[in-house]
Amino acid sequence: MNQSIIRLTREISELNKTSDLSIAVACRDADVRNVRAVILGPPDTPYEFGFFEFSMKFGRDYPAKAPAVIALSTNSGRTRFNPNIYAGGKVCLSILGTWRGERGEEWSSAQGLESILISIQSLMSSNPYENEPGFENANQEHDKENKKAYVLKIRHETLRITVIARLEEYLGINADGTLQPSPAPPDLESSEDGDTSLADLEGSILFEPFKDLCKRRFLWYYDSYMTSITAERPKVTDGQVFVRMPFEHSGNTMEGRFYYTELERRIKLVRERLDKETENWAAEGAIMAQRESGVAANLQRQYEQTVEYYKKSDSVTLDIELVDKNPFLWRVTYFGRPMTNLDGGLFNIEIAFSPRFPIEHPRARFRTPFYHYRVTSDGVPCYTVTKTDEGRAHIDAIIHLMEEENGPYDPRTQVNQEASKLYWGTPEQKREYNRKLRRSVQASMDYA
C-alpha cells in the first residue's frame, strides 16, 4: 500500500477516535484520498456553532505536498465567509501554498490533516476583518466601522447558510416552510436477514457524512442560535443591506440583507421538524420489530443485556424499560446517588433509536426537570460516546454527565446558557446554581 494512504488512513482514524467537538472528518472506504471535513464555528465568534464543510484531495505525494482544500459552505459559490475563504471555495493559507507566508510557515511533512483543519479554524476569529493582508496599514478609524459591519453580516449568514439552510436540506424543508418531495427511502427490509447494510445505504444515497452529526449538534445549540437571533435583531433592521468590505469585489463577496424575523421563523420550523423526525423513529421501529428485522433484534438483545448489566452493578441504581415494548424507545429511570446533589431525585430519560441505527446515533432527552449546564433547557443532554453502536454506552455517558463534579470548562458543551453562567461564575453564582439544581431534583419526584 502507498505510504501516503497508510499515513492518511491513520490520521483519519486518530481524528475520529478523539472527543474533539470542533472537527469531524469522513471519506468513502474506497476513496481515502478524498476527505470531507466539517469545522464547528468557534464559540464567541460570529461563526459560533456554524457547520463549515470542506473538501480535501490528497495526492500520491502526500505528506511531501499539501492537499488541495476547497470550502463547500459558500452558498453555491455566492458567499465569501472570510478574507481568506473565498466564495469560489479557495482557502488562502501559507501551509497550503495558496498564500505567501513568512519563512517557517510553509508546508512541511510534519504537518497533516489535523493541523490543516486547526489552521482553517483559526481564521474564524472574533474579528475576521483583521485577517485581510495589509489591515495593519489601513485607515484604523474607518476600519472600526467595517469590523463591526463585517461581524454583523457573518453572524447572520452563518445562521442562515451553514445552520438553517443546511438543516432544511437535510430535513426536506423549503425556505418557505413547505416540504420538498421525498426521495424513495432505501428498503430497510431488502436483504435476506431483513436489514440493509451500511455499504448498501451509502451506495443508495448521496454521500452526506455529517448529516446525523449536524442534526444532533443543532439540538445541542438550538438555544444558542435563538439567543444570537434575539441579541442581533435590534442591531439591524429587516431588509437592511450588507456593507461591502474594501477587500470584497464582484464574484467574491458576501452580499445580502438582514432578515432576522425570517431566520427565527425558519429555525423554529427546523426544530419542530427535527423533533417530529425523532418521534417518527418509534413508529418506524415498531413496524420493523413486527417484521423481526435485524436492527430490531439487535436493539432487543442490547436492551436485555443492558438490563442485566445494571442489575448486577453496585455503582448506580436505575431501571430500564421499553416504551410500549418497542426496542427503538428506551426509558431510563435514574435514582439520584445518596449524599450528592442528586440525592432523592428520580430522573426519567428517554432514548430514541433510529431504524438506521447505528448509522444514525440515538437521541436522548430528559423527561423530568434537570438543571445542568450540559443539558439544554428542554432536556437534551450534551455528551459524547466512543462506542456509538452500544446502547449501554450512551446510558453510561449520560450518567457520567449527571454525576461529574468539577468537570473541565469547555464552551462547546455549555448548552444551558443560564446554568453555565452560574456554574462558572462567582462563588455566590455557583451556590445559586446548586440551589437551582436541587430544586430540579426535588421537582423530578413530581413526575414519578
Residue recorded with cell 432505501: 186
Joined grid coordinates for residue 98? 495558496
Whole-angstrom Cα distance, residue 378 to residue 398?
15
Q: Which residues pair with 347 in a beta bridge?
A: 334
Q: What is the torsion angle, in degrees rounded to the nearest 10, for the CA atoms of residue 234, residue 240, residue 246 and residue 250?
A: 140
Query: Among residues 281, 403, 445, which one has the least CA distance to residue 351?
Result: 281
Count helices and strands (H / E) in the chain.
Answer: 11, 8
CB crowding 180-198: b at 16 or more within 10 Å, else e: eeeeeeeebeeeeebbbee
Residue recorded with cell 432536556: 379
Alpha helix segments (H runs only) across 112-259: 113-123, 140-157, 166-171, 198-204, 211-232
Whole-angstrom Cα distance, residue 26 to residue 311?
38
Residue recorded with cell 482514524: 13
Whole-angstrom Cα distance, residue 242 to residue 245?
9
Q: Which one from 27, 92, 214, 382 is the annotated catalytic residue? A: 92
Q: What burial class does residue 86 get, using C-beta atoms within 10 Å of its C-beta: 0-12 exposed, 13-18 middle, 19+ buried?
A: buried
Q: What is the torsion angle, in degrees rounded to the nearest 10, for the CA atoms of residue 335, residue 396, residue 310 and residue 387?
A: 160
Report yes or no: 388 and 361 within 8 Å, Cβ to Cβ: yes
Joined grid coordinates for residue 332? 431510563
Q: What burial class does residue 96 get, using C-beta atoms within 10 Å of its C-beta: 0-12 exposed, 13-18 middle, 19+ buried?
A: buried
382 is catalytic: no
Report yes or no: 375 and 223 within 8 Å, Cβ to Cβ: no
Report yes or no: 423 and 406 within 8 Å, Cβ to Cβ: no
What amino acid positions are annotated as catalytic residues? 92
